[in-house]
Amino acid sequence: MADLRLPTNAIVHPDKDRFLSLSEANPFEAMMARFDRAAELLDLEPGLYKVLRNPEKTVIVSIPVMMDSGDVEVFTGIRCIYNTSRGPAKGGIRFDQHVTVDEVKALAAWMTWKCAVVNIPFGGSKGGVICDPLTLSMGELERVTRRYTAGIIATLGPDSDVPAPDMNTNERVMAWLMDTYSMHVGHTVNAVTTGKPVAMGGSLGRREATGRGCMLATREALVQLGLPMKGARVVVQGFGNVGSIAAELLQAQGCRVIAIGDRTGGWYSKKGFDIAHAVRHVEQHGTLDGYNVGEAITNEALLELECDVLLPAALENVITTKNASRIQAKIVCEGANGPTTAGADALLDEKGIFVIPDILANAGGVTVSYFEWVQNRSGYYWTERMVNERLEEIMVNSFRDVLQLSKQHKVNMRTASYMLSINRVATVHKLRGIYA
């Protein structure tokens, strides 16, 4: 494995000081730092560099909503279409009070590279509504969703921009979005969004897809490092849909999940947890609060536990220059988008930690979203076994493509992922040319 890692300080991050000086709170800067490094290694021509460094469009809309109280509240909605050279834009919609334009732009760019790294014919987009969904009633959430959909409807369409669930959104929100779009165009268009209820054309296996993709990527990394899957110690930070499913699937493969955590804190057990039991607790109580199995620890301490696999599946920027030197995992599998800052990359490299980057590790979700879109367009639906088999084929082949590039150029997996995806997008731009 020496050819993949050390001396990474010289090979992967010759501009380490610039990476460390970046604002760790700005996800767009972090994404662009990785983009710039990959573009430099690819010797990307200046014109293409300018095109790929900028989103195609960013739409900001006001969302006036009649609240249950009878008062009118005005929310802000954002939709960024980053790149559509390879196909319709694809990206989730999140409802959160901390959504920013820079965050949405960064996530839209990440979606562009994510779709390209697994070689599915989508571009990238992302959307968000600045609100606190925990304070909204079901009726208020529906009105926010429908008015937001109407506000960005010019970008939407199965051939132009296809949303999906993201933070604090779900199948029900996608059902409202699909219905609103369909009412505007005058007929049912189930391919306008993915992550829908199965009864409305959603794909079997979609809910588990991101976590399953993380399991598959982790399995391939363990094989590459010569570590057995049976008994591998796994720490999962973020016990939502992605983290809990990844934990269940890894446990089913023989791994020992020794720590789990969510926004309420973490729990540690040297002998490992019964993940199905933990999932039932969350289903009954909403969080891991009060789980009382094992030893209670903070999320900060959870990240720094000695383990074989650390799977951050919560929010951005949880591994930073402040704690990267204390990470003790052999493998970091990024279930969340942007959990590691650009400055932390260099520090993890110096420790010889094998990082499976977000644009590869959590691409299972968008891959099965693509399957859902294909099924909607054809009107022919697959069994869950077919979905899972095709997902495994794409995830394994993509991991091996990135690994081969990392060995060839003596760079880490993140840089190799960006090089592979940017080259695929740039190649299509060259073939299409510039419309004038």
The single-letter DSSP state of residue 349 is H
Cβ atoms within 10 Å, residue 377: 12
Q: How far is CA 233 from CA 47, 228, 322, in A?
A: 46, 10, 24
Annotation marks residue 126 as catalytic: yes
Kindly name the residue from 16, 105, 126, 330 that is annotated as catalytic.
Answer: 126
Q: What residues contact residue 397 under an 8 Å CB cut-off, 6+ apart?
A: none
**How far is the C-alpha of 195 from the C-alpha of 202, rounded, in Å?**
6
Q: Rounded to whole angstroms, how far apart are CA atoms 417 and 402?
A: 6
Report long-range pairs for 274-278 (Cβ below 8 Å, ≥24 apart). 275/244, 275/247, 275/248, 275/251, 276/248, 278/239, 278/244, 278/247
Q: How far apart are CA 256 and CA 330, in angstroms?
A: 15
Query: How far apart are alpha carbons 39 and 48 in whole angstroms?
Result: 10
Q: What token pair was written down for 113? A: 């590279």
Rounded to whole angstroms, the Cα distance separating 294 from 271 reads 9
d(CA 338, CA 357): 8
Count the Cβ atoms, other than its own, within 10 Å of residue 93: 30
Q: Could you give the CA distance from residue 433 to residue 436 in angstroms, rounded to a whole number?
A: 9
Do the beta carbons of residue 387 and residue 203 sit within 8 Å? yes
For the chain, give the longest Cα–Cα distance.
65
CA–chain centroid gap for 43, Å, is: 27
Alpha helices in 156-240 (DSSP H): 171-185, 206-225
Cβ contacts of 433-436, under 8 Å, gap ≥ 24: 434/47
Q: Residue 346 in contact with residue 319, Cβ under 8 Å?
A: no
CA distance 210 to 362: 5
Q: The tokens 């199905």 sit on which residue? A: 276
Phi and psi angles of residue 126, each rounded to the nearest 5 degrees, phi first: -160, 155
Q: Which residues are catalytic?
A: 126
